Amino acid sequence: MRAPVLLVPLLALVACATPREQCINQGTRDLRVINSLISETQGNLSRGYALAEQQEVRVLRRSCEGTNADGSTFRFPCEETETFTRNVPVAIDLNAERAKLRSLQERQVQEQRRARAATQQCIAIHPE
């Protein structure tokens, strides 16, 4: 999953945010998650399948260069292990996916109200 990698820049930005921005960010986090899940579910429905991340490892055989004690160079075979992630199609139950989308959209409406209230509270607590 890429989430931990994506959090690093976000955490760096949050560290520089004002108290008001930090408060608003925290108060709207659940809404952002729901919006992301809605977008993913809509993509699944439009494609007709989901995408799952799959990690793969491959060993690359290369020629490396070294230096002798006398300063001369030499070449030798070496290996480098590379890990990468790719998306693979996964079958889904389209009816269940539609039901999930409806549920997320209902939750989104509730969360939008809550996020608006949280934002207003943050503005009141941290006037700029």
pTM flag (> 0.95): no
What distance in Å separates the CA atoms of residue 85 and residue 82, rounded to the nearest whole number? 10
What distance in Å separates the CA atoms of residue 86 and residue 99, rounded to the nearest whole number? 27
Contact between 27 and 119 (Cβ < 8 Å): yes
Residue-level pLDDT at 78: 93
Residue-level pLDDT at 9: 62
- CA distances from residue 75 to 3, 67, 71 in whole angstroms, order as listed: 39, 9, 13
- Look up residue 85 and give its amino acid: T
pLDDT value at 71 more than 70? yes
Q: Which residues pair with 86 in a beta bridge?
A: 54
pLDDT digits (tens, 9 = 90+) for 28-37: 999 999 999 9
